[in-house]
Structure 1
Amino acid sequence: MRPIVFNECFGWLHDAEGKTGVILCNPYGHEALWTHRGWRALAENLSRNHFPTLRFDYRGTGDSAGAENEGDAIETWLNSIEDAVRYMREHTGVAQVVLCGIRLGGTLAALVANRIAVDGLVMMAPVTSGREYQRELRLIQRRWRNTAAPHIEAEKHKPDYLETLGFRLYPETLRHLEQVALPQDLQPAVPNVLLLDPEKSRASGAVLNFYREHAVNVEVDAFDDYTALLSEISDTPAPHASIQRVVTWLRTHLGDGMGVRSPSDLPTAAVINDATAPDVMHVAPMLHGNGFCETPVIFDNGRLFGIYCRPETAQTDGPVPDDESVDDLLRDMQVDLTSAATGQYAVLFANTAASHHIGEARMWVTQARLLAQRGIASLRMDVGILGDSAGAQESIEATMLHSMRSCADVSEGISWLVDAGHTRPSPVGICSGAYLCFHATVMNPRAVGAVLINQNFYTWSDKDATRPEMVVAATRVYLASIRRADKWKRLFSGQIPVGTIAATLMRRQFEKWGRRGADILKAFGGQENHTGAVRKAFSTLAQRGVRVRILYGDFDVGLEESESYFGRDFKWLRGLPGMNISTERSLDHALFLYPARQIMQEVIERHLHEQASCSANLQAGGAANASRPQWNAFGRQPPLRSVAAKR
């Protein structure tokens, strides 16, 4: 597979010898994140069966240019699919093109088939009513708020956007989506159609009847592994049955085309292979935007993949905009982060859970491009088992996400940034990504800082994969719920697993007492325990002069884990130089909420600000500690408060 860029869209071409090309059309938002592993498995399988396949991100999504609030996204995505069809025909020489989409992507593919000639259409559980789909998205968000962030106050006014797990649809898009309805919007323009239906619903039956009435060669089949393809659960297997069904249908109706053409040799398909070896740097696909330029990179002997984002240069067509918030930031920092000297600073964004390198709700893409506008380069990367790295796995277990191998991969990313000329790199991670960044910073002496957000664990063993903490909230959440009538109602109705929660809370308390006891024994010559090992690691970082930013939500379960190592209010850790710890009530665990991402951006900028201040030898308490910037990409942000100040 080879990275490509076309019309401000980023994608991967899985080339093959066949004459029939397949274009995969993503679903929307969180479903696109969940589908990524299965979508890659489908593309690789199609390529092995001689079907050149293109998977890509629509403009305003994934690694492509643009933002989600730029006008009518539905129309933008339809145009992106049309661009993909043209690219496939012009750059691979295929004779036939098939569109394959799941959920909203299946609907978009069908609408594009009305506009331009294609030879086949695969619709996998398509959205048949835009109005009903909006209701479904609102229900998902409401359920998530009630379970994952009940302590965070919702907005008092009704917003004009629709928000679902960190993604937003804005008014123009909502109006267009509300008008989408199948089969009313369909035209019998495509000769071959495959419909995979997980529920055999009345709506999908109407789509099937429409095509049959217009003499379209249409087939319908079950979609039994729908959940495997479209699930946030990372250890589900790839949907091999549906993949095989698609391959069989393509062979039957469009032929495999084996040996008809040679795989294309695109001049833009090469990537930067190794920052330390300029002689292997070729013309790479680049994506330019306002103040940034992005290049795909493959490193560590072809094992790892990332997107290198750096400030746009004057020679390119994307000047930094005149942004008052950027000016305010630089003035407050008293350090010019756009100067050439700051090229030494860089940020590495690590995977969150099993999500690929764009981050939950595409947050790493947004952060990388904002930093580029401020003069800071970054690398958002996939560890070896995830995303678009060579050895990405179809099924991911929690132990794999916390393995030392994955930590070493993040360390390789740190070294890549240093070799590229950024001598002061800092990794940034959330949850399991924070775990990877912590251990990578410990093992790589070239790291000068780290930002750790909502880190659940500091040590890991296989038994941790089944610990109730993976599903049970922090003790503070249950204590706060005592005052809520709706929680008592759910308790008495049997909706809350009281036994599991009670056992977990009790075990947490016993573990806390056990660690305190081990500390006492260690003082009298006992063996070092987990607490001692974690503290020793942080002491090592402090001795190396590494600056560490730690951020937790007030009710995050990881906060409890941290306090068991460092004491309440992080008393032990705050005694080390270079350690900065904050907590915030409005921080949900995955940072789906926009206020949480406001805080994250503020923390990252402060971290860089402090590093630049130290580098410039500014006096403590001077200009470097002046008032913080009050604006960022997500809106106005109040100052952060330290743990000690809040409690």
Structure 2
Amino acid sequence: MLNNPPDRSSATDVDFESVVRTPLYFGADDKRLIGWLHTTNAPLQSDMAMVICPPLGVEYVSTYRSMRYVADYFALAGIPAFRFDYHGTGDSSGSNDDGNRLDDWLWSIEQANNEIKRLTGCEKVGLLGLRMGGTLAALAAERLEVECLVLWAALESGRKFMREIRAIQLTGISQPGADATDLIEAGGMVYWSKTVDAIQNIVLAEKRPKASRILVVPRDDFKANTRLIDAWKAQGCDAEQVEYPGSADMLVVALDSVVPHHSIIEMVKWVRQGAGERAKAPCDIATMNIPINATIPLVPQGEVNESFVRFGVNQDCFAILSEPVGLADAGLPIIVMVNSGANHRVGPSRLYVTVARALSHLGFRTLRIDIPGLGDSIIDDRAQENKDYIEHSSEVIHQAMESFGITYKENKYVVTGLCSGAYFSFHAALELDDVNIVESILINPLTFYWHEGMAFENSPTKNFGYWNWYKQAIKDPNSWKKLLRGGSNYAALFDTIFNRIKIVFSAKTGGLRRVVSGGQPSLEGDLNKDLLKIASSGRHLSFILAKMDPGYDVLMTSAGKTARKLMKDSRLNIIMIEDADHTFSKYKPRCDAVDAMVKHIVARYLKT
């Protein structure tokens, strides 16, 4: 008898500890993909397995945790599940700049289908896809015969998807000189012309998936229609549509994303009921050929080696190590990259993957880590997961360094990260005295000090962003016309100016302790003293800052005199990136940020 899906709407009491999550590489040698097999040690498993097809762009990052739970719930119901990253996305090989990406995304689904059959021995496979992942799953089901197809908030039309992308693009910072016909992007993902043409030709109602059963779950924030299932029923498909809540709350930024446990459980039940009681002996992971390292080809040329790393007291934290092909130079520092916000180790817009592979191709080892509660670093207390800032972050970074073996203290390290990753990197340089950190590179920090319960929405840090925006607006004649016509928000303007005066005064009299903590005296930290402490230990500090982001203002308002002195002494440097937002979501400034970071590290450490 197979297990039944958990009958709960919360993850609090579900036995997730019984789930075995196995990372692996699969696919062709020149197009390696990363996947995760989810199983349990139950004596029987279903003879049907499920492949989870993720969404694209920022939705991929936002829903990464939810897709992990989807795979967990299937495994707990006795159905092996497989989640993966498409070629050119996430941790898989490839670049988003390669021709028509649609063909490679569909190829990736086919490879995942073949791989889970190989791993589990299951002859039948179902597909579950979210958003564009659902659209891709339906297209793949034209080529593959699948047992079931679950489309969750899927896009029925490629043209509708591209309209969404163009609408989101209009809300971002414009790209000077960019040709909109060649560069369409949103959420940190670029859609080049060949891919756009291929996507716009998608009309799911005109397709006929080779699926025994189809479930369509529409978005819960839009009015649902039955056009798709009506068209498929007319073609003889066994299709039904059910409305479940939770997709809207899941499809927000990663930090605020809420896992819709109840809806996931209901979808698993639907799949499980159709699978019946057909069962087989489970796969024995220990005896299988599970590739845990891969040679990753780079674009336009070259390759690096990548492998999985477990670290932490119980080896329950996860990281990916990129290394040069051949023997690494032990004299070069190891680059440790720490999570940005609640994003997993790929970084926003895949920034960390791009930087890591570029550096490893040049001879550096780079380690992209997930702190506890993010990505695939699983914690027991589920209520504490998905936190962007955590206590004892330096201890976690130290544990990651220990993964390099008993000689880890002999290595040099550069610690870096964006946003909260910058905070972690700063404190690693400040607190980890027993390892040889030669530099911390802080990318767009929002704060240097943090405590549990600190809310940035109510912090003066937010005023730095407003102040920068108004400084830029002063240079725009249209802003003055709007002001004189009475079209500006005078209250917000005067509030920003008044708070700016308070912040500058507080910085001169009380340091960052009162500036960024919102006046909370329990938050300890004096940025002037801490910058000097790091510099006196021989550790270099670098800042990579988006010009429109508040990071420069935070630093110079709070410790400008000290920062200028350290810059003069070549113990601190600042690199500014033009036309960039906080996460470098636009293609051109993101390329500039990658190029600046790689050039900086090469210039400091690679002897020619």
State whether TM-score is above 0.5: yes
* Aligned counterparts, 1:361-440, within 5 A: 361-391=349-379, 400-417=387-404, 423-440=411-428
- The residue that corresponds to 2:447 in the other structure is 457
Q: Secondary structure at the match of 2:542?
A: strand
Which residue identity lines up with residue 22 of structure 1 in the other structure? M
1:559 Cα shift?
1.9
Q: Residue 175 in 1 paired to residue 197 in 2?
A: yes
Q: Give CA deviations for 1:359-396 in whole Å, capped at 9, x if unaligned.
A: 11111111111111101110011001100112288777
- Whole-Å Cα distance in 1 between the matches of residues 585 and 321 of structure 2? 24
1:415 Cα shift?
4.0
- Whole-Å Cα distance in 2 between the matches of residues 292 and 498 of structure 1? 54
TM-score by length of 1: 0.80
* Aligned counterparts, 1:246-325, within 5 A: 246-255=267-276, 257=278, 260-265=280-285, 267=287, 284-289=292-297, 290-300=302-312, 301-313=314-326
Structure 1 segments unaligned to the other structure (5+ residues): 146-151, 271-282, 314-338, 520-527, 617-623, 625-647
Which residue identity lines up with residue 398 of structure 2 in the other structure? S
1:265 Cα shift?
1.7
Whether the 8 Å contact between 1:65 and 1:287 is mirrored in structure 2 is no
Which residue identity lines up with residue 123 of structure 1 in the other structure? L
- The residue that corresponds to 2:35 in the other structure is 11
Given the superposition, is the C-alpha separation of residues 432 and 426 from structure 1 closer, same or farther in structure 2, using an over 3 Å criterion?
same
- The residue that corresponds to 2:16 in the other structure is none
- Whole-Å Cα distance in 1 between the matches of residues 488 and 265 of structure 2? 40
The correspondence for 1:217, drawn from 238, 242, 245, is 238
The correspondence for 2:113, drawn from 64, 85, 95, is 85
- Whole-Å Cα distance in 2 between the matches of residues 92 and 494 of structure 1? 67
Which residue identity lines up with residue 561 of structure 1 in the other structure? V
Q: Give CA deviations for 1:286-335 in whole Å, capped at 9, x if unaligned.
A: 3432320100111112121100000112xxxxxxxxxxxxxxxxxxxxxx
- Whole-Å Cα distance in 1 between the matches of residues 438 and 293 of structure 2? 30
Q: Residue 208 in 1 paired to residue 221 in 2?
A: no
Q: Secondary structure at the match of 2:373?
A: coil
Which residue identity lines up with residue 553 of structure 1 in the other structure? A
- The answer to which of 11-20 and 109-118 deviates more is 11-20
- The residue that corresponds to 2:598 in the other structure is 605
Q: Give CA deviations for 1:137-186 in whole Å, capped at 9, x if unaligned.
A: 011121133xxxxxx653354451322232112222112111111201x2
Which residue identity lines up with residue 458 of structure 2 in the other structure? R
- Whole-Å Cα distance in 2 between the matches of residues 142 and 498 of structure 1? 25
Structure 2 segments unaligned to the other structure (5+ residues): 1-20, 512-520
Whether the 8 Å contact between 1:235 and 1:396 is mirrored in structure 2 is no
Q: Residue 198 in 1 paired to residue 219 in 2?
A: yes
Q: Residue 238 in 1 paired to residue 238 in 2?
A: no
Q: Secondary structure at the match of 1:567?
A: helix
- The residue that corresponds to 2:516 in the other structure is none
How many correspondences in the alignment? 564
- The answer to which of 467-476 and 556-565 deviates more is 467-476
Whether the 8 Å contact between 2:63 and 2:254 is mirrored in structure 1 is no
- Whole-Å Cα distance in 2 between the matches of residues 262 and 297 of structure 1? 26
The correspondence for 2:564, drawn from 547, 571, 574, is 571
Whether the 8 Å contact between 1:418 and 1:424 is mirrored in structure 2 is no
The correspondence for 1:448, drawn from 433, 438, 448, is 438
Whether the 8 Å contact between 2:62 and 2:257 is mirrored in structure 1 is no
1:481 Cα shift?
1.5
Whether the 8 Å contact between 1:407 and 1:440 is mirrored in structure 2 is yes
1:252 Cα shift?
1.9
- Whole-Å Cα distance in 1 between the matches of residues 319 and 141 of structure 2? 33
- Whole-Å Cα distance in 1 between the matches of residues 24 and 88 of structure 2? 16
- The residue that corresponds to 1:35 in the other structure is 63
The correspondence for 2:584, drawn from 591, 594, 608, is 591
Whether the 8 Å contact between 2:155 and 2:161 is mirrored in structure 1 is yes
Q: CA RMSD in A?
A: 3.2
Whether the 8 Å contact between 2:169 and 2:184 is mirrored in structure 1 is no
Q: Secondary structure at the match of 1:13?
A: strand
Given the superposition, is the C-alpha separation of residues 412 and 537 from structure 1 closer, same or farther in structure 2, using an over 3 Å criterion?
farther
- Whole-Å Cα distance in 1 between the matches of residues 445 and 38 of structure 2? 36
1:53 Cα shift?
0.6
Whether the 8 Å contact between 1:285 and 1:295 is mirrored in structure 2 is yes
The correspondence for 1:227, drawn from 248, 270, 273, is 248
Which residue identity lines up with residue 36 of structure 2 in the other structure? W
Which residue identity lines up with residue 12 of structure 1 in the other structure? W
Identity %: 26
- Whole-Å Cα distance in 2 between the matches of residues 122 and 456 of structure 1? 40
- Whole-Å Cα distance in 2 between the matches of residues 177 and 107 of structure 1? 10
Whether the 8 Å contact between 1:292 and 1:373 is mirrored in structure 2 is yes
Q: Give CA deviations for 1:327-360 in whole Å, capped at 9, x if unaligned.
A: xxxxxxxxxxxx9545532211111111100111
Q: Residue 506 in 1 paired to residue 527 in 2?
A: no
- The residue that corresponds to 1:351 in the other structure is 339
* Aligned counterparts, 1:437-586, within 5 A: 437-445=425-433, 446=435, 447-461=437-451, 462-467=453-458, 473-484=465-476, 487=479, 499=491, 502-518=494-510, 533-567=526-560, 570-574=563-567, 578-586=571-579
Q: Secondary structure at the match of 1:549?
A: strand
Q: Secondary structure at the match of 1:138?
A: helix
1:451 Cα shift?
0.8
Whether the 8 Å contact between 1:351 and 1:382 is mirrored in structure 2 is yes
Q: Give CA deviations for 1:232-271 in whole Å, capped at 9, x if unaligned.
A: 15234211121022112012222365x632243255677x
Q: Give CA deviations for 1:577-607 in whole Å, capped at 9, x if unaligned.
A: 5211233433321112233333433443344
- Whole-Å Cα distance in 2 between the matches of residues 513 and 550 of structure 1? 24
Q: Secondary structure at the match of 1:15?
A: strand
Given the superposition, is the C-alpha separation of residues 191 and 39 from structure 1 closer, same or farther in structure 2, using an over 3 Å criterion?
same
1:532 Cα shift?
6.3
Whether the 8 Å contact between 1:50 and 1:256 is mirrored in structure 2 is no
Given the superposition, is the C-alpha separation of residues 503 and 344 from structure 1 closer, same or farther in structure 2, using an over 3 Å criterion?
same
TM-score by length of 2: 0.84
Whether the 8 Å contact between 1:468 and 1:500 is mirrored in structure 2 is no
Whether the 8 Å contact between 2:304 and 2:325 is mirrored in structure 1 is yes
- Whole-Å Cα distance in 2 between the matches of residues 505 and 397 of structure 1? 37
- The answer to which of 592-601 and 22-31 deviates more is 592-601
Which residue identity lines up with residue 102 of structure 1 in the other structure? L
1:39 Cα shift?
0.7
Whether the 8 Å contact between 1:346 and 1:425 is mirrored in structure 2 is yes
Which residue identity lines up with residue 540 of structure 1 in the other structure? K
